[in-house]
Chain A
């Protein structure tokens, strides 16, 4: 077996090992990886998300079966003896050595750059240090916001500024070039970028550098080249990177003029046993600070190590970038700076809409060379793969608003669909031909779409264009989508699951179709969710009208419309929780959640709550959860409308309404948005003219802001529009589809939704409103429904043969003065 030593455990080193492991079926190579950081390899591109709460574990790349030595960097390479020595004294012989040491942050040699409070922005450890310093600064007594200086207005500098902003500091970005992101964006794009960034409350100074940093009464002062002094609590340097080539230099390997180990088109150094990839490698003297070129190099070396003949040229390396920061879309691809001789630039600059788009084309205007998009990068996925290809349409029309839509069919087979993983359109089409008929299947067999995800819309398009019938079947029991089942139920009058599955499905259902049908039946107003056969369709939450928790107990949430609660009600909730030993917590949606109730306790708990006037909060169902509200005009000095009154009215109107997914709302009494209404499925923000209605926001895995549907509405019109919107969603969305992806899935998107809801373009508004009126008119509290029905009550027992014996597996302990579950040990598995 041959020995491979990889020095460096970053994204590129990891990719090399992954590619080699995938393809080395003969087991030719034994791999040893040396990592300088003590952590396993992680996604450095997503580094900034760490500040937003994404954990180090989430960023960790899949682990690979290799000899991995973390926190033990290589200190010497003996090329004659073909040995690497590590800091801890390990000596590793090699047949092949790959340098993947990456780069180090460049810190300009200014006085004071080593002072406490000065940081670089490169690793998770750097971010931990920045976070600790920011927290300390924010906690320091003294007036005013705490501030930071970011040295460098490139991609990373802007990310650092955004991170500092979310840590509660006011960052000032100092960029020596005359514009932001000078490497990727041209002058016109840079001007718009600056305007958009500044409107996100980020201060920018271009065309100046930092001359020095000094300590002054516990804070830092950065002196700029124009004489301005900036006070700061911390300074972050993100002024570029330098290849980490010290080890290579010491080993006598030739390096480029600006650093970086010189490699040929095979990524081989001057030593035939030593290779270099990623940011430490200089291909034809040039280094690359993006992950995609590094990945491409890793693939070449993996191929070569297994006897392949892969090569690469600088022209083939994808230097495109797309990012969204501070809410601003920026993308740059190909020859964005128009350096190709004779290149022509086509620009569509709309300062009013806040968009800038430029295409760089060849001198004969036939071939696309590159481009820049600022403010709206939605065409990036379609444009980037076209680089080097004949233009499919007039370049102005390709970037003009309302211009030609670029279909996947315009792309040549050689076009790279996924630049992160170098997957061509040809490879994707081939995989589709081989039977990959879903996006996950394409991801699994081509790896396209698995890194940054920007090409996923294009993958979908290719699937559709290939004529693949994407199955809409709910599960093995129904060949229909949820929307189709809804229409079948609504139009046939079938009101039982048995009837539906007998006539329109097969088998006896499952945990996918049964709750979906239960939800459809509930939306159509078929009485209590436990009536008749419906009882057997409900998921455990809807079966026990409470939320199943991990130890098998439930939590109980009474409705507090709009978050309003009287002192008397608070006392009752407190008494109930105390008497039943429940843990209480205020939820994220302005409710009080009581945890730890056992099945047999639920009716007694509800009895007390219902007698006091509470109703079920439906915190368990795929239904309306809460309508959050701020304080509104009643108390607030700034409120312009009664947000509490409206929130209460809306919560009572839509209580108990079942939908494809749980949904939430919020009402803010003024533009300060204290109710965070724009993170809700429908949110309302007061204006001095009335109400603005926003739709399609949500938290969860993919948080999203709601978008404006209609503005300055009077209350009656507002309610009518919400009725239509919700009912249209309930009727046409897929199972478990939230409002945001539902709106995206509509042909025509938000504009179509607006046409249906506001202009009644389909002529169904009256029907939708009538359906909602029926729901509002027939609402009855589900807890009370159980308490008044002996047969339903009989289901709330711990054991059918020992109705009041508590589940012996539920045990609790005390934490911060309340009872919490003891973690369950997993039982022995097996019959």
Chain B
């Protein structure tokens, strides 16, 4: 995390409690749409909200789960699964979502976008 911490700008999004376990929310940071997920084990992940296959900003509305132990979100449009850890698409090696660092401070959820 230290390597990225120096190169990102943190933005506070909302209280962590606002996120239902295993369900996403969308956030707008400048003109970047981010999809944020809180998992069953309490961890939080952020990836791009725009589905690369349909172009619609809907990733935050996908179903969260796992594939072979990797936490995933499935696009609600055409159902491809994406890793919540690094954003790569598990159904198409050529496609991935941007992924962003997240942190929780004083119960507030922050997402880091590159400078």
Which residues from chain A sit less than 8 Å from chain B, CB to CB? 476-477, 498, 507-511, 513-515, 533, 535-540, 543-544, 548, 550-552, 794-795, 797-802, 805, 807-810, 824-827, 829-831
Residues 54-76 of chain B: 1 if any A CB is under 8 Å from the residue's CB, otherwise 0? Answer: 11111001111111110110101
B96 contacts A508, C-beta separation under 8 Å: no
Residues of B within 8 A of A825 (CB): 55
Residues of A within 8 A of B50 (CB): 809, 827
Closest to B111 in A: A801
Closest to B86 in A: A831
Given contacts A543-B61, A550-B56, contact A536 B18 (CB under 8 A): no
Residues of A within 8 A of B8 (CB): none
A sample of 12 cross-chain residue pairs with beta-carbon separation below 8 angstroms, ordered by A number, consists of A508-B39, A508-B71, A511-B63, A535-B20, A543-B23, A552-B54, A801-B29, A805-B28, A809-B50, A829-B95, A831-B87, A831-B97
Interface centre among A515, A826, A829 (most CB of B within 10 A): A829
A510 contacts B57, C-beta separation under 8 Å: no
Given contacts A509-B66, A511-B74, A801-B28, contact A829 B61 (CB under 8 A): no
Question: Within the complex, what minimum Cβ distance (angstroms) separates A630 from chain B?
Answer: 36
Bound Cα distance from A827 to B72, whole angstroms:
21
Given contacts A548-B77, A829-B96, contact A536 B21 (CB under 8 A): yes
Question: Is B9 part of the binding interface, using a Cβ–Cβ cutoff of 8 Å?
Answer: no
B18 contacts A800, C-beta separation under 8 Å: yes
Bound Cα distance from A540 to B79, whole angstroms:
11
Question: Within the complex, what minimum Cβ distance (angstroms) separates A481 from chain B?
Answer: 19
Residues 35-54 of chain B: 1 if any A CB is under 8 Å from the residue's CB, otherwise 0? Answer: 01001100000000010111
Bound Cα distance from A333 to B69, whole angstroms:
53
B26 contacts A540, C-beta separation under 8 Å: no
Residues of B within 8 A of A535 (CB): 20, 23
Compute the total of residue contacts between A and B using a CB distance below 8 Å. Answer: 125
Residues of A within 8 A of B87 (CB): 831
Residues of A within 8 A of B97 (CB): 831
Interface centre among B57, B69, B94, B98 (most CB of A within 10 A): B57
Closest to B88 in A: A831
Closest to B29 in A: A801
Question: Within the complex, what minimum Cβ distance (angstroms) separates A553 from chain B?
Answer: 8
Question: Within the complex, what minimum Cβ distance (angstroms) separates A550 from chain B?
Answer: 6
Bound Cα distance from A548 to B74, whole angstroms:
14
For A511, give its contact among B36, B56, B62 (CB under 8 Å): B62
Closest to A798 in B: B26
A827 contacts B66, C-beta separation under 8 Å: no
Residues of A within 8 A of B105 (CB): none
Q: Which 5 pairs between the two chains have the least Cβ-Cβ distance?
A: A824-B55, A552-B56, A510-B65, A540-B76, A511-B74
Question: Is B85 part of the binding interface, using a Cβ–Cβ cutoff of 8 Å?
Answer: no
For B31, give its contact among A513, A797, A808 (CB under 8 Å): A808
Given contacts A798-B26, A799-B28, contact A476 B68 (CB under 8 A): yes
Given contacts A548-B58, A552-B57, A552-B58, contact A508 B66 (CB under 8 A): yes
Closest to B109 in A: A800
Bound Cα distance from A583 to B112, whole angstroms:
38
B55 contacts A802, C-beta separation under 8 Å: no
Given contacts A801-B14, A801-B27, A809-B55, contact A536 B61 (CB under 8 A): no
Bound Cα distance from A509 to B33, whole angstroms:
26
B74 contacts A800, C-beta separation under 8 Å: no
Supplied contacts A476-B68, A539-B63, A799-B33, 13 more A-B pairs, CB within 8 Å: A508-B65, A508-B66, A510-B65, A513-B65, A533-B21, A536-B20, A536-B64, A543-B61, A552-B57, A797-B25, A800-B14, A805-B28, A826-B55
A800 contacts B66, C-beta separation under 8 Å: no
Given contacts A510-B72, A809-B55, contact A515 B63 (CB under 8 A): yes
B27 contacts A799, C-beta separation under 8 Å: yes
A544 contacts B61, C-beta separation under 8 Å: yes
Residues of A within 8 A of B77 (CB): 548, 550
Bound Cα distance from A261 to B55, whole angstroms:
55
A800 contacts B27, C-beta separation under 8 Å: yes
Residues of B within 8 A of A801 (CB): 13-14, 27-29
A507 contacts B66, C-beta separation under 8 Å: yes
Bound Cα distance from A507 to B41, whole angstroms:
12
For B65, give its contact among A509, A800, A802, A807 (CB under 8 Å): A509
Closest to A510 in B: B65
Closest to A549 in B: B56
Question: Within the complex, what minimum Cβ distance (angstroms) separates B115 from chain A?
Answer: 16
For B56, give its contact among A795, A800, A809 (CB under 8 Å): A809
Question: Is B81 part of the binding interface, using a Cβ–Cβ cutoff of 8 Å?
Answer: yes
For B67, give its contact among A476, A794, A799, A824 (CB under 8 Å): A476
Bound Cα distance from A537 to B72, whole angstroms:
14
Given contacts A824-B55, A826-B55, A831-B97, contact A510 B74 (CB under 8 A): yes
Residues of A within 8 A of B58 (CB): 540, 548, 552
Given contacts A508-B66, A514-B65, A544-B61, contact A539 B76 (CB under 8 A): yes
Question: Within the complex, what minimum Cβ distance (angstroms) separates B14 from chain A?
Answer: 5
For B22, give its contact among A477, A508, A798, A826 (CB under 8 Å): A508
A550 contacts B22, C-beta separation under 8 Å: no
Bound Cα distance from A515 to B18, whole angstroms:
23
Residues of B within 8 A of A827 (CB): 50, 52, 55
Residues of B within 8 A of A551 (CB): 55-56
Residues of A within 8 A of B57 (CB): 552, 807, 809-810
Residues 78-107 of chain B: 1 if any A CB is under 8 Å from the residue's CB, otherwise 0? Answer: 010100001100000011111100000000
Residues of A within 8 A of B61 (CB): 540, 543-544, 548
B62 contacts A510, C-beta separation under 8 Å: no
Residues of A within 8 A of B72 (CB): 510
Bound Cα distance from A800 to B19, whole angstroms:
9
Residues of B within 8 A of A507 (CB): 65-66, 69
Bound Cα distance from A794 to B14, whole angstroms:
13
Residues of A within 8 A of B13 (CB): 800-801
Closest to B14 in A: A800
Residues of B within 8 A of A514 (CB): 63, 65
B66 contacts A510, C-beta separation under 8 Å: yes
Residues of B within 8 A of A809 (CB): 33, 50, 55-57
Residues of A within 8 A of B98 (CB): 830-831
B52 contacts A829, C-beta separation under 8 Å: yes
Closest to A536 in B: B22
Residues of B within 8 A of A797 (CB): 25
Bound Cα distance from A550 to B95, whole angstroms:
19
A824 contacts B28, C-beta separation under 8 Å: no
Question: Within the complex, what minimum Cβ distance (angstroms) separates B63 from chain A?
Answer: 4
Closest to A827 in B: B50
Closest to A538 in B: B63
Residues of B within 8 A of A810 (CB): 57
Residues of A within 8 A of B62 (CB): 511, 540
Given contacts A509-B66, A510-B72, A829-B94, contact A802 B28 (CB under 8 A): yes
Bound Cα distance from A537 to B57, whole angstroms:
20
Closest to A799 in B: B28
Closest to B87 in A: A831
Residues of A within 8 A of B76 (CB): 539-540, 548
Question: Within the complex, what minimum Cβ distance (angstroms) separates A232 from chain B?
Answer: 48
Given contacts A510-B65, A540-B61, A829-B96, contact A800 B71 (CB under 8 A): no
Bound Cα distance from A515 to B65, whole angstroms:
11
Residues of A within 8 A of B55 (CB): 551, 809, 824-827
